[in-house]
Structure 1
Amino acid sequence: MAVAEPPFTTAAYPEAAELLTALPRLRGYARVLRRNREDADDLVQDTLERAWSRAAQWRGVGDMRTWLFSIMHNLHVDALRRGRLDTVDLNEHTPEVPVAATQGQILVVRDLDAALAVLPAEQREVLLLTALDGLAYAEIAQTLAIPIGTVMSRLSRGRARLRGLM
């Protein structure tokens, strides 16, 4: 008796392996955007669902990671515009960031999380895509659909404001 091959295989979709390697970074970025593990997982799920529904476009995608971040960013912005996202008061909840057990390191991470929350969303997104995901300015510009000069400006202003807050 022959076993039926599952509909998802890397043989049928060679780009799927690239999609799967992007998952940890997608999860990390989603958790920073949503500040809630369940909402972040939902955002990753929605991103993958949208990407999978457009699998025919994969061959035209130059960089799968940038394309996925663009999808995630657009889904997040759409949810913000619809008012579907709940905000989290950082004074009531501890961040869901894995940290070392020392008190000093925990306090630094909490301070950084609080300072990032104060930044305008545009500056925070550019900072996170640069620092956490290591995207180049051109990739960030493509992901957020903004000019590269705007990326550099937001990054500069965001870093300066973050330094002032820290």
Structure 2
Amino acid sequence: MSTVESQIEELIPALRRYARALTGNISVADDLVQDCLERSLSRLALWRRGSDLRAWLFTIMRNIRVNDLTRQRTRPDMTASDEDLDRQSAAPTQGDRMVVRDLASALEQLVPEQREVVLLVGLEGMSYAEVAEVTGVPLGTVMSRLKRGRDRLSHLMNGSEPAIRRVK
């Protein structure tokens, strides 16, 4: 196995998390990861050595998902079952499960563009520039989507109203 292939293998858990965020369904997410891996390995020669492999893979995955949604013309089902939430929860307490359930519910209520940016920055630890590269939007758009998404999450989780500024 080449060095790049082993790096790709190490990124599979992150790809699965991102796929789950994009699809909201474990089995569809696994199919998406498989499609992404198949496409990336068959087109490995197109990857520029020295560039961010993770961003390249996430871009491939996002493009596959967008193409699938365009073909299907359906909205992803972001409903998480209790069993899914229990499996994802690191702490087994009832209170922790409730927080995870509330967070999943709040994330479902974000517009897809905000949810994607919040998850890439917050869960995957990507920089704003990496998220801009993956999503294909300008850096300023990433920053505004993240700010609005975080404000909306705060409102949904804590009941606090996001600050509204008057623009002249």
Q: TM-score, normalising length from structure 1?
A: 0.85
Structure 2: how far apart are the matches of 1:133 and 1:101? Answer: 23
Which of 103, 106, 109 does residue 115 from structure 1 map onto? 106
CA gap of 1:35–1:22, structure 2 versus 1, over 3 A, is: same
Q: Which amino acid in structure 1 is aligned with residue 37 of structure 2?
A: L
Which of 18, 31, 35 does residue 7 from structure 2 map onto? 18
Aligned length: 154
Report the counterpart of residue 131 of structure 2 in structure 1: 140
**In the alignment, is the contact (CA less than 8 A) between 2:23 and 2:78 conserved in 1?**
no
> Bigger CA drift: 144-153 or 82-91?
82-91
Deviation at 1:85, TM superposition (A): 5.3
**In the alignment, is the contact (CA less than 8 A) between 1:95 and 1:113 conserved in 2?**
no
User: Is 1:152 the equivalent of 2:143?
Assistant: yes
Q: Deviations over 1:87-128 (max 9, x none)?
A: 44738x326242122111111111110110110000000000
Report the counterpart of residue 102 of structure 1 in structure 2: 93
CA gap of 1:127–1:89, structure 2 versus 1, over 3 A, is: closer
Greater Rg over alpha carbons, structure = 1
Q: Which amino acid in structure 2 is aligned with residue 164 of structure 1?
A: H
Q: Which amino acid in structure 2 is aligned with residue 94 of structure 1?
A: D
Name the structure with the higher helix share.
Answer: 2
Structure 2: how far apart are the matches of 1:61 and 1:74? Answer: 22
1:12-161, aligned counterparts within 5 Å? 14-60=3-49, 62-83=51-72, 87-88=76-77, 90=79, 93-94=81-82, 96-97=84-85, 98-99=88-89, 100-161=91-152
Structure 2: how far apart are the matches of 1:61 and 1:144? Answer: 20
Structure 2: how far apart are the matches of 1:51 and 1:57? Answer: 9
Deviation at 1:38, TM superposition (A): 0.9
**In the alignment, is the contact (CA less than 8 A) between 1:141 and 1:147 conserved in 2?**
yes
Q: Deviations over 1:16-43 (max 9, x none)?
A: 1211111110011111221221111000
| Runs (5+) with no aligned partner, structure 1 | 1-8
Structure 1: how far apart are the matches of 2:132 and 2:116? Answer: 11
| Runs (5+) with no aligned partner, structure 2 | 158-168
